[in-house]
Chains A and B, each alone.
Chain A
Amino acid sequence: MSAQRLPAVRARGLPTLWGLGAGAALVLVLLLALTIGPYPIAAGAIATAALSHVPLLHVHSGLDQLQSAIVWQVRTPRVVLGALVGGMLAVAGSAYQGVFRNPLADPYLLGVSAGAGVGATIVIAYVPHAAAGELLPVAAFLGALCAVACSYALGSSVARAGGTGALILAGVAVAAFMTAIQTFMQQRQAQTLQQVYAWILGGLSGATWHEVALAAPYMLVATAVLVAHRRILDVMSVGDEEAASLGLNVARTRLLIVVAATTGTAAAVAVSGLIGFVGIIVPHTIRLVASSSYRAIVPLSLVVGAAFLVGTDVLARSVLSPAELPIGVVTAFFGAPFFAVVLRRSRWVEL
């Protein structure tokens, strides 16, 4: 399958200016996130410390042991995890919107969040604490995959041609069922409510290199697969029959994209909880202001999603510092009005 047969689609690639702008924004946000925190460390000192890690450059780190630990062990993993999760959720959202041709599609469409919630709640409520810390992300990850597998099996058995409506409805049913189980277990073990609630709210406050190492491989592979399929998503956006007439195995391609998006999202959810809004709003904003081609939307979603989540995390930890705000509250509180403005100022194009 190649997009060369589709000259109209090929004409709209990644707009250079938007790409550069988004890249610059990401770099700026990353630097800001690394230099802001309750422990005062000068930005210049962090810069020289970073340079001291470059071989052949004989720069001495001006940071003492504690400052160094704060920058490299506390702040950096949090920033890196935020960038990975934000990019992953936005890319997965754009891919879901593409394969389902549905503007309401987000990474949690087929039950990722509800499945992860069941996995996490089982561990919090029933596993003795000694093993719980290690098991929690694994259980959330498996629960998410399990839910989506159920949705997909149910949906595709109804519509063998791979129609998207049945899949979405199957996702709704599975998510509702999983949520019922999760709520039941959570209410049975009322003393764990606080922990379950904290997990569902999501956040990056507990991020260490351990979480990054745990989730990054899945997120990186998934992102790579989805970015590589950006042209295919354009082809699929014209409709299943048209795409099939162009020689695309629609059902198989959709399955591959859903598996990649789901695995990556499940990994993100496993280490950061349920962070809403990023996956649905970032791709739409790009579609509205930059380009309606997935060749632009997917890679731009990666960069803008990363910048958006790292930026909102900076707000989450500094607005009421030293108190932390739940990051989902911040993503929606600042993201929704911003998106409303974008929506009003642009012309809506049906997917």
Chain B
Amino acid sequence: MTVNDAPPRLRRGVAAVLVVALAALLAACGSTSTTTSTTSARASAPVPDRIVSLSAAATEDLFAVGAGHQVVAADEYSTYPADAPRTSLSGFEPNVEAIARYRPDLVVISQDVDNIEGQLAALRIPVLYEPAPANLGGAYAQIIQLGRATGHAAAAAAVVAHMRAQVASIVRSVPRRTPPITVYHELDQTYYSASSNTFIGQLYTLLGLDDIADPAAKAAVYPQLSSEYIIARDPDLIVLADTVCCGQSLRTVAARPGWAHIAAVRDHDVLAVNDSVASEWGPRIVLFLAEVADAVKRVEAQR
């Protein structure tokens, strides 16, 4: 490597030029930095076979499209599938040298912490940036993009087609009614919730539910509600996404002062889900949607 053989000062200069050149290239391509990265990935190696995934959702996507065997390292939260090569790498505090040790030919990130994209680009490591999508459409697009970048475009298209069909059938199976069934999505015991402007909230909208966090969305898309407000709105369905972090369940929720009066608690329409399923956007999201749909049907039956 000529760059490594050069004296330190010159090497720094070369690195700086490289960074500037890459920055200019990125700027020229506008916001689609991912396109640049995949192009350079194809230029160096047609299909990456040393992928490092720093995003749990991306790990799930990669395995779903059949690129699992190309993944050499996944981050500490990539718990699904079980055979993903989970390491101590962190997507929240990424360390460029720790990532480079795996000699990756593609790194997938979901957040650009400490300009990790730029740092990896400086080492000529292609990066695919797949942030949390706003809706299911965004999640499908990421699967397609990951499939194309890893040489599994057809499989990715099939995965997405299958997901679309499943989602459509789930949505069709849920009857609509007026007034709509109300839902409270709980993120933690201090009543942080998710409004319809979030990925998870969009799923409730798909099923025709009325998210009780929506009137608070003017404060934040993930607003903090109060116990009294939740009791006052008397939601028909409660989805607990704080079962792992905070050990919440129908029993603990029913023990909260005044909550025994809430319809969802009274009729046992409290759905306990795994925190991570409800906060990631891989193919398993369809299972979550199906679980919620079943709960909605139970609410309907009780009415």
Closest B-chain residue to A73, C-beta based?
Answer: B257
Closest chain B residue, CB of each to CB of A124: B245
Q: Is A247 an interface residue (CB 8 A)?
A: no
Decide: B231 and A129 in contact? CB cutoff 8 A: no
Q: Using A190-B90, A322-B226 as known contacts, say yes or no to A69 and B258 having CB atoms under 8 A apart.
A: yes
Q: Which residues of B contact A187 (CB under 8 A)?
A: 92-93
The answer to whether B246 has its CB under 8 Å from any CB of chain A is: yes
Do residues B215 and A206 form an inter-chain contact, with CB atoms below 8 A? Answer: no
Please give the distance in Å from A292's CB to the nearest CB on chain B. 40
Which bracket fits the contact residues of A? 35 or more
Contact between chains at A132 and B247 (CB < 8 Å):
yes
Q: Answer yes or no: A205 CB below 8 A from chain B CBs.
A: yes
Residues of A within 8 A of B261 (CB): 65-66, 69
Q: Is B288 an interface residue (CB 8 A)?
A: no
Is the beta-carbon distance between B77 and A206 smaller than 8 angstroms? no
Do B258 and A195 touch across chains, with their CB atoms under 8 A apart? Answer: no
Verify B224–A39 contact, CB threshold 8 A.
no
Contact assessment for B244 and A75 in the assembled complex, using a CB-CB cutoff below 8 Å = no
Q: Are A323 and B190 in contact (CB under 8 A)?
A: no
User: Using a Cβ–Cβ cut-off of 8 Å, how many residues does chain B contribute to the interface with A?
Assistant: 33
A-B contact count (CB 8 A): 102
In the complex, the answer to whether B228 meets A320 with C-beta atoms within 8 Å is: no
- Most B Cβ at <10 Å: residue of A73, A187, A326: A73
Within 8 A of A (CB), among B157-177: none
Which chain A residues (63-85) contact chain B, with CB distance < 8 Å?
A: 65-66, 69-70, 73-75, 77
Q: Please encode chain A, from 314 to 347, with 1 for each CB lying within 8 Å of some chain B CB and 0 for all others.
A: 0001001111111000000000000000000000
Contact with B along A177-212 (1 / 0, CB 8 A): 000000000010011111100100001011011000
In the complex, B80 has a CB within 8 A of chain A: no
Say whether A38 faces chain B, with CB atoms less than 8 Å apart: yes
Smallest beta-carbon distance A266→chain B, Å: 21
**A130 proximal to B (CB < 8 A):** yes
Report whether B226 and A38 are in contact in the complex, using a CB–CB cutoff of 8 Å. Answer: yes
In the complex, residue of chain A having the shortest beta-carbon distance to the beta carbon of B214: A322
Contact B228 A129 (CB under 8 A): no
Q: Which residues of A contact B220 (CB under 8 A)?
A: 323
Closest to A192 in B: B245
Which secondary structure characterizes the binding site on chain A? helix
Q: Pick the most buried of A65, A74, A195, A325: most chain B CB atoms within 10 A of its CB.
A: A74
- Docked-complex contact A205 and B224, CB < 8 angstroms: yes
1/0 per residue, CB under 8 A from A, across B81-113: the answer is 000000000101100000000000000000000
B216 touches A70 (CB 8 A): no
CB-contact partner of B224 in A66, A193, A195, A323, under 8 A: A323
- The minimal Cβ–Cβ distance linking B225 to chain A, given in whole angstroms, is 6
* Interface status of A133 (Cβ within 8 A of chain B): yes
CB distance from B67 to the nearest CB of A (A): 25
Q: B246, A205: Cβ atoms under 8 Å?
A: no
Q: How far is the CA of A37 from the CA of B225 in the complex (A)?
A: 12
Q: Is there a chain A Cβ closer than 8 Å to B188's Cβ?
A: yes
**A129-B247, A191-B77 as given contacts; A38 in contact with B228, CB under 8 Å:** yes
Contact A70 B225 (CB under 8 A): no
Contact A74 B93 (CB under 8 A): no
Verify if B63 is at the interface (C-beta below 8 Å from A): no
Q: Which residues of A contact B218 (CB under 8 A)?
A: 320, 323
Give 5 closest A-B pairs by Cβ, nearest first. Answer: A129-B247, A323-B219, A73-B257, A323-B216, A39-B232
Q: Could you show 24 A-B contacts with beta carbons less than 8 Å apart?
A: A37-B232, A38-B228, A38-B229, A39-B228, A39-B229, A39-B232, A66-B258, A74-B258, A75-B228, A129-B244, A129-B245, A187-B93, A190-B90, A190-B92, A191-B77, A192-B245, A194-B187, A205-B227, A206-B189, A320-B216, A322-B225, A322-B226, A324-B225, A325-B219
Task: Knowing that A187-B92, A194-B192, A317-B226 touch, tell me 12 more A-B residue pairs with CB under 8 angstroms.
Answer: A40-B232, A66-B258, A70-B231, A74-B228, A191-B245, A206-B189, A208-B257, A320-B216, A320-B218, A321-B229, A323-B217, A323-B220
